[in-house]
Amino acid sequence: MPNITIDGKQITVKDGTSVFEAARQHGIEIPHFCYHPKLSIAGNCRMCLVDIEKMPKPAISCNTVATEGMVVHTQTEKVKALQKNVLEFILINHPIDCPVCDQAGECKLQQYYMDHTLADSNFREQKVKKPKKVVLGPYVMLDDERCILCTRCVRFCDEVTKTGDLCVTQRGDRSTLTTFPGKQLDNKYSLNTVDICPVGALTSKPFRFQCRVWFLKSTPSICTGCSTGCNIQINHHDGKVYRYLPRENEAVNQCWTCDEGRLSYDFINEGRLYRPSVHEGGKDQGVSAEAALAEIAGALQRLAPEDAVFVGSAYESNENNAALKKLAEALGVKDLQYSAHEVDNPYADDFLMKADKNPNRAGVERLGFQPFRGGTQAKVVVALEGLGKSDLARLKSEEPLLLVLLASNQSETADYADVILPTATFAEQEGSFTNFQNRVQKFDKALEPEGAIKPAWRWIAEIAQAMGKDLKIAGAERLLEESFGLKYADLGTSGKVL
């Protein structure tokens, strides 16, 4: 394990570690464009130049292996001058119109220009004009005039998805990023190329010019697209979710996420249930929370425990399912089942995407809920979130006297339900999911609920109160602790395997 010195700081690194990576691991930032920790080394941007003692000229740190006794300087006048020159070279044909670029505010080129140059260009000749608004695929748009040919996106498609969608054609300042003839950038992870593009060349068509990034707030969360439970950041503004971005977790999704999952946020913004309702006269009637709770409490109090079925959800959090189980136990209800979201022809692969499109099947099963089988004797069904298509069809055939639904969105189940209580989505509360690895992972609250919306566990506590019972629910974290023996602090940033 070689010992090296970077800017006066003595560092011990593993054999084979690059100078760039050694610096990064110890909090020393070296400017760069083409380097990415999950991709091969290209060494083509030349921004990561450093001075190394006993070497005749500066070297690119990303492709220089650290050796015993090496002394590295990243802040010398020579290095700064070279970085300034590299930036000027990159900017020769790059448009200087940051205010209209969709990447403004999170662009590495913009950042480095502000940090290292802040000078007018010496280039007076005509810039090479490259095409704008090139549709590369269903989700990715290319502004080729902004591309700096770092080749991160090309290497991602070659090395991560192994689909080889992208390439660089032509030579010199005419070089251009493109797809192979007759092909599109349409692999299942294409939007990761937008994430790793250091400039405004590749942009997301669903997000493009929807919101300036400096308005966005970012909240750590978990993708609900499937049972992998990819770690994400929810980017939101003024009560609306604009995009998901991958959040690093080496044990789950590394630093990637699939297109299907990252574009699954529409249900947070649209089709929401905002007030309690009861089904009367062939249509839903909005009612007060007190009236809805009284309807539910009265129905449950009139029945024997064996006449009720409580249905949890593989799409709901550990905490909300735990609260439903707690209510069942308080009422003596033994029949605990769960339903799951169903997708026609679900796609799966051996990377991140799972055929199970539910984030918490492992969690609800660990709580003791059994897969939905219906109940011919059930007179009252209390269900979380909604039932899958086949489960709902079975329930309709059995015609229970009353279906109580705690759900966030309009659905076929909501259309059939007799009483509805509007619940928060995962983005409007804190909680946790248990993924297919039995890894419990926390998500944070990003948005404030609107209208009468509440987390399901709060509604469940109020149902109990309306029946004269106290479930003693002290909060979401306490529900997790009672059911799984874990506190949120135990989950950290990478989750906890049960």
CATH number at residue 14: 3.10.20.740
pLDDT at 273: 97
Q: Are residues 368 and 442 in the same domain?
A: yes
Cα torsion angle, 225, 228, 229, 232, sign:
negative
Element (H, E) at 443: strand 439-443
pLDDT of residue 95: 86
Same domain? For 23 and 126 the reply is: no
Output phi, psi for 409, to 5 deg. -135, 155
- Residue 328's pLDDT is 96
Does 63 share its domain with 150? no
Q: What is the DSSP letter of 10?
A: E
Domain boundary among 209, 236, 252: 209
Q: Which of 41, 67, 90 is the last residue of a domain?
A: 90
Q: In what order do the strands lie in the sheet with 231-237?
A: 217-222, 231-237, 240-246
Considering its fold, how many domains does the chain have in total? 3
Consecutive 10-residue runs of the chain (498 residues): their mean pLDDT? Answer: 93 94 94 96 95 94 95 94 91 87 92 80 82 95 95 98 96 92 95 97 96 97 98 98 98 98 97 94 87 95 92 98 97 95 94 97 98 83 94 92 96 95 98 98 97 97 96 96 97 96
Are 125 and 67 within one domain? no
Question: Is 127 in the same domain as 60?
Answer: no
- pLDDT for 127: 83
pTM to 2 decimal places: 0.94
- Residues 438, 466, single domain; the answer is yes
Based on the domain organization, do 403 and 290 belong to the same domain?
A: yes
Asked if residue 354 lies in contact with residue 223, where contact means CB atoms within 8 angstroms, the answer is no
Which tokens sit at 180? 């192979």
Helices (H), 230-358: 259-262, 266-269, 289-301, 318-331
Beta strands in 299-358 (DSSP E): 308-313, 336-339
| Of residues 68, 33, 254, 292, the one with CA closest to residue 161 | 254
What is the three-class DSSP state of 390? helix
- How high is the pLDDT of residue 378? 78
| CATH number, domain with residue 106 | 3.30.70.20
117 and 33 both lie in a single domain:
no
Same domain, 9 and 155: no
Considering the domain architecture, whether residues 289 and 423 belong to the same structural domain is answered as: yes
Q: Supply the pLDDT for residue 264.
A: 97
Residue 491 and residue 344 in one domain: yes
Q: Do 57 and 102 reside in the same domain of the chain?
A: no
Would you state the pLDDT for residue 322? 98
Domain that residue 329 falls in: 277-497
